[in-house]
Amino acid sequence: MIEHFPLRSGYLATSKTGGPKCESFERQLESYYSVEHARVLNSATSALHAALVAMGVGRGDEVICPAYSMSGSAAAIVHAGATPLFADIGEDYCLDWNSVRDRAGDNTRAILLVHLFGHHAVVPDWATRYPVLHDAAQSPTLRPDRNDDRDIWVYSLNQHKVIQCGEGGYALTNSRRVADRIHAVRNHGECFTDDIVGYNYRMTEMQAAIGREELIVLEQRMVERRDWARTFGVINGIRDIGNSDWFLFPTRTDPAKRSYLAERIGGRCGYHRPLHKLAAFNQTHLVLPNVEKIESEIVVVNPLCR
């Protein structure tokens, strides 16, 4: 005979406005990041898509993003009906702002800034004319630093991130209107607005319960990662470890020695294939010198595997 034990809260998934654990997790995130509004979703890619819709990005618009990132960054732009314009990257592996300036045009609606490998990139003053969507999936301690209700910050809780609940993500904003629109996108447009069709992007109560506990230990995990980065840097002759959350540790080497170095330090050659080289995005004609150079030189080490 099978006995049934009901959940104490009565919620397995979530309601239209979020179950009690989802709502509690959102308040916890708002406190940790000192931001007005947090919204939890079922993945960071969903959160990026919802954020773009909340920004008003749609058909005919262009969004600048780095060519060196994982595909979800650009895929969210396509799902919003817009076109990704791929820009080159700088020495910190994040957007090269000179390339951004060159790529921007009359139809540029926003900039998607990926804080790759955990590096905390800085937005120059001239770029504040555009709303910025911060893809901080690899930078969980990045705190919103601009008092601008147009900007949105998105984080990941995927199973291989610094903190995780199997799958999930969250978006931060200082605008109640933007937060409500993200909420509408994640819940079929049934809440707060009637001009959004929306999707089922809701986080479950079980994910939120895990996420709450994971957030508590984030700072301690970052102490351990930064200690590892300093030690690894000294051992491998890398003097400047910079400002990063060290989701991955990238290092540069001579292309001829890359395979040898990767084997010696337990890393892997390269990262994801540059997005402008993927036929799906139809921009294979682009020439992005820094991406090409880094792609041939970089070795990436995962601290979780050390």
pLDDT in tens, 128-137: 899 999 999 9
Residue 108, judged by CB atoms within 10 A of its CB (0-12, 13-18, 19+), counts as middle
Which candidate, 54, 119, 111, places its Cα nearest to that of 85? Answer: 111
Which pLDDT score is estimated for 4? Answer: 46
Domain boundaries defined on the chain: 20-216, 218-305
The pLDDT, as a whole number, for residue 238 is 59
Max CA pair span of the chain:
69
Is residue 211's pLDDT more than 70?
A: yes
Q: Is 259 helix (H, G, I), strand (E, B) or coil?
A: helix
pLDDT score of 6 more than 70? no
Q: What is the pLDDT of residue 146?
A: 67
- pTM above 0.85? yes
Domains 20-216 and 218-305 share a fold: no
Tell me what the pLDDT averaged over the chain comes to.
89
Q: What is the pLDDT of residue 264?
A: 84
Enumerate the H helices of the chain as residue ranges. 20-33, 44-55, 71-79, 97-103, 176-186, 205-216, 218-235, 258-265, 289-297
The one-letter code for the residue type at 60 is G
* Long-range contact set of residues 8-12: C-beta below 8 Å, sequence gap at least 24: 9/205, 11/205, 12/204, 12/205, 12/206
Return the CATH architecture of domain 218-305: Alpha-Beta Complex (3.90)
**Residue type (1 letter), 256:** A
Residue bearing the bigger pLDDT, 6 or 19? 19
Of the pLDDT bands very low, low, confident and very high (cuts 50, 70, 90), residue 239 is: low
CATH topology of domain 20-216: Aspartate Aminotransferase; domain 2 (3.40.640)
Residue 182: pLDDT above 90?
A: yes
Lowest mean pLDDT among 10-24, 69-83, 216-230: 10-24
Q: For position 7, what pLDDT does the model report?
A: 52
- Could you say which DSSP state residue 177 is in? H
pLDDT tens-place string over residues 61-75: 999 999 999 999 999
Q: How many CB atoms lie within 10 A of CB 279?
A: 7
| Backbone angles phi and psi of 95, in degrees to 5 | -55, 135
Three-point CA angle 33, 36, 40, nearest 5°? 70
Mean pLDDT within 261-284: 89
